[in-house]
Structure 1
Amino acid sequence: MSEEAWHEARLIPTSGINGAQEQEKRATSALLAVMGAVPEFSKALLSPLGAPARVPATYIEVPFDLSGKKVIPDGLIRVTRGSKTWTALVEVKTGKNELQTEQLDNYLDVARGEGFDALITISNEVPSLPGVHPTPVDKRKLRKVQIFHWSWSYVLSTAIVQKEHRGISDPDQAWILGELIRYLEHDRSGALEFDDMGPNWVSIRDAVAAGTLRANDKVAPEVIARFDALLQYLALRLGRRLGIDVSQVVDRKSATNPTAYLADRMNDLAANGTLTGSLRIPNAVGHLVVTADLRANLITSHVELDAPKEGRQTTRVNWLLRQLRDAPDSARVESFAVRSRTGNAELLSVAREDPKLLAPDPSKELRSFRVAMDSKAGAKRGSGQGSFIDSVVKSVDQFYGEVMQNLKAWTPTAPKMRPEVPAAEDGLRSVSLSSQDGPASSAP
């Protein structure tokens, strides 16, 4: 038998998984065991939750009594530092399984009764906004216990960033974390990528295209939430490739007045047929803005950046064009002048030939630029070729890789020192503050 047909032994095998329950047990045990074995990984996951920076003790299927009823959370994490102990229950779902409100309410009651600090849920559900739990629970149960949610995409992204970019000090621990990554990336693990725009996607998309969607539609908010969840997934995916924490830009209004925020999004979808969101990428020139135009069937990725504050207007345009030398000709560049509501837009191929088209009036000072790329939107609600999700992912990857990562913000030239001038016979230099006054007159 050829060695090519042999299967390499794995620390966490994917073979032999039968049914969703076994899939959840294996995923829970694998994740919690690796958290206990790789301190850098557990710290990356638990420190944002307020846990002490120590190696956790982890357990699976810990039974508790709740008013005479036996409840068994999937796991428990305990971190001790000195006299302080931080404890969290863990509930896990894999595949298409979703978290259940009644089950979470029971675990919150257990945590409160036992004096635990938190409940951590893990599933393939991606929250629509950072810090928002995908499953509604009784808020009265959160007075003494916090609830946190990790999508499997978040867990996988954290593991990859920690291993490949931030580093693991111990080689054996790095190998262990690599085995967890390999396991979670396998289809049979039940840790899925974001792959569905929801059951109402097609009907809402068709209503927008036909111009019949109303701003008070009952199911459109679910599609808006799915798009925001897609942005969360895009942030995790891009951060995984860049090795940094990419995040969704959250409108302040969404936190202070979520009802009004949703109404604005609904009006925009009904009136303009667009869904829009932004990603914050550390050290990038600006936010990466993603717009899905469901009427035009287009995905647009763009970034805005300030124009230089000095030089002629065409000089400022050429400053940008030099940075776009490797960008595709199909990219679009827009320029905006001070105190002007409209701008001048040209394809990059045209602007390269005649930069003056972006600054037709030399007397109007350029304020900012916008660089954008359009691509065709997929139609299918799921993932794969021809899907809306994949078309958005491809648009973001291409725009950042071919355009945005090459852009730098303008910085003014450092001031130059004036050369020293030899002193004149009267002891003054031409650059002295008093050199314009002439020699002092003698007293009468």
Structure 2
Amino acid sequence: MAEQSWHEARLIPTSGINGAEEQERRATSALLAVLGAVKEFNRALLKPLGAPAGTVECYIEVPFMLGEKKVFPDGLIRVSRGAKAWTALVEVKTGSNELATEQLENYLDVAREQGFDALLTISNEIPAIAGQHPTKLDKRKLRKVELHHLSWSQVLAEAVMQKEFRGIADPDQAWILGELIRYLEHTRSGALEFDDMGESWTGVRDAVATATLRATDKNVATVVSRFDALLRFTSLSLGRRLGTEVVPILSRKEMADPALRAAALTQQLAGAGQLSGTIRIPDTAGHLVITADLRAGQVTCHVDIDAPREGRPTTRVNWLIRQLKNAPDSTRIECMTAHSRGSSSAELLRAVRENPALLVHDPAREIRSFRVALTSPLGTKRGRGRGAFIDSVLTAADSFYANVLGDLKTWSAAPPKLRPETPTVPDEREPTQPVSLSSTDYSSQDGPDQAEAGDHQDGSAIEGVN
């Protein structure tokens, strides 16, 4: 038999998974076992939840009595350091299964009775805003127990970044973490990517196309929430491959009150037929702004970048063009000048490459900044695959970073140069003016010719004395 048909032994196999219950049990056991084994990974995942650095113990399906009934949380994590311990119950869902309110509230009651610190939920649900929980719960039950949520996409992204970029000290532990990554990336694991815009998508999309959508329509809130979840998934996807933390940007008011963000998106969708959001990628020239225009059927990614603070207008334009060597000809460049609202000029990159002066309408006006944008077709389907809204947004963000944003660098002025404190030794020449009419000492205000003349005159005076 050919070796090509042999199956390599895996630490966490995907074979034999029958049904959602077995899928959840295996995913829970695999994740908690790796958390207990790989120190760097458990610190990266548990530290933001409030867990101290210490010895990690993980258990699955721990039974507890709640009144007269017995409940079985999917897992329990205990981190011990000296006499102190941090304990969290864990509830896991895989596939399309969603977290249940009654079940979570029961576990919150158990955690409160047992004196545990937190309840951690893990599922494929991605909240619209980081720190927000996807399930509505009685807030009174959160007075003594903290509630945290991780999506499987976030768990996978954290595992990849830790192994591939931050590093694992022990080679065996690195291999173990790699096996978890391999398992979670398999379709049968139940750790799904963001793959659905929701049941309300089709109706809202069609209403936008016919300009009949109203901000008060009940389905708008669901679509708006799913779009913000898509932005978070886009950030996680980019961060996983870049090895850095990529996050959507929200204002302080929106972070404090998520309803403000939802209201702004609702008005934008009902009024202009657009959904937009901003993503921050560390060490880039600017923030990545994604705008999905449902009416025009286009998705646009753009970045705003400050122009150099010196040089002629065409020099500043050329500074930008040189950095866009990998950008497609269809890239749009907008030019913003001082004391003007909006862009003063806009051209496609193919034209600007041939004639940079096209962006300079008034040489007397100072160019302050540029906007570089790339537009592509927007999918309409609610799921994943060809012609899908989700895939078109993900592809647009990836392409824009690879061809535009990743090559851009901010301008910085050249460092000042030191002026020489003493003049260079000149050749012997006859003095051009009497010694009495010129200072023989070098000054910082003297040019090279004056310095040379001063040296010659000084030498001539000495010869005269001799």
Q: Same fold by TM (over 0.5)?
A: yes
* Cα pair 2:330 2:348 within 8 Å, conserved: yes
2:397 equivalent to 1:396: yes
**Deviation for aligned residue 1:132:** 0.6
| Residue matched to 2:195 | 195
Per-residue CA distance 1:60-107 (angstroms, 9 max, x = gap): 000111112211100000001112210100000000000011111111
> Aligned letter for 2:127?
P
Give matches, 1:89-108, under 5 Å: 89-108=89-108
What secondary structure sits across from 1:303 in the alignment?
strand
Q: 2:443 aligns with which of 420, 429, 432?
A: 429
What secondary structure sits across from 1:291 in the alignment?
strand
| Residue matched to 1:69 | 69
What secondary structure sits across from 1:180 in the alignment?
helix
What secondary structure sits across from 2:318 in the alignment?
helix
2:429 equivalent to 1:415: no
Per-residue CA distance 1:190-244 (angstroms, 9 max, x = gap): 0000000000101101101100001111110110100000011001100000011
Q: What is the distance in 2 between the residues matched to 1:320 and 1:35?
A: 46
**Deviation for aligned residue 1:253:** 2.7
Q: Unmatched 5+ residue regions in structure 1?
A: 433-444
Q: Unmatched 5+ residue regions in structure 2?
A: 425-437, 447-466
| Residue matched to 2:291 | 291
Give matches, 1:280-359, under 5 Å: 280-343=280-343, 344-359=345-360
> Aligned letter for 1:114?
Q
2:241 equivalent to 1:241: yes
**Deviation for aligned residue 1:257:** 3.9
**Structure 1 runs, 4 residues or longer, greater than 3 Å off:** 256-261, 421-428
CA shift in 2, pair 1:257/1:51, >3 Å: closer
**Deviation for aligned residue 1:421:** 4.9
| Residue matched to 2:449 | none
What secondary structure sits across from 2:144 in the alignment?
coil
**Deviation for aligned residue 1:55:** 3.7
CA shift in 2, pair 1:259/1:15, >3 Å: closer
Per-residue CA distance 1:301-359 (angstroms, 9 max, x = gap): 11111111111111111100000012111111111011211311111001111111112
* Cα pair 1:128 1:226 within 8 Å, conserved: yes
| Residue matched to 1:367 | 368
**Deviation for aligned residue 1:426:** 6.2
**Deviation for aligned residue 1:44:** 0.7
**Deviation for aligned residue 1:422:** 5.0
| Residue matched to 1:168 | 168
User: Bigger CA drift: 149-158 or 247-256?
Assistant: 247-256
* Cα pair 1:42 1:55 within 8 Å, conserved: no
CA shift in 2, pair 1:223/1:177, >3 Å: same
CA shift in 2, pair 1:258/1:6, >3 Å: closer
Larger C-alpha radius of gyration, 1 or 2?
2
> Aligned letter for 2:39?
P
Q: What is the distance in 1 between the residues matched to 2:276 and 2:342?
A: 20
Using structure 2 for the length normalisation, give the TM-score.
Answer: 0.90
Give matches, 1:3-402, under 5 Å: 3-343=3-343, 344-402=345-403
| Percent identity between the two aligned chains | 63
Using structure 1 for the length normalisation, give the TM-score.
Answer: 0.95
Q: What is the distance in 2 between the residues matched to 1:63 and 1:430?
A: 85
**Deviation for aligned residue 1:264:** 2.1
Q: What is the distance in 1 between the residues matched to 2:116 and 2:260?
A: 36
**Deviation for aligned residue 1:126:** 0.7
Q: What is the distance in 2 between the residues matched to 1:71 and 1:77?
A: 17
What secondary structure sits across from 1:56 in the alignment?
strand
**Deviation for aligned residue 1:386:** 1.3
> Aligned letter for 1:53?
A
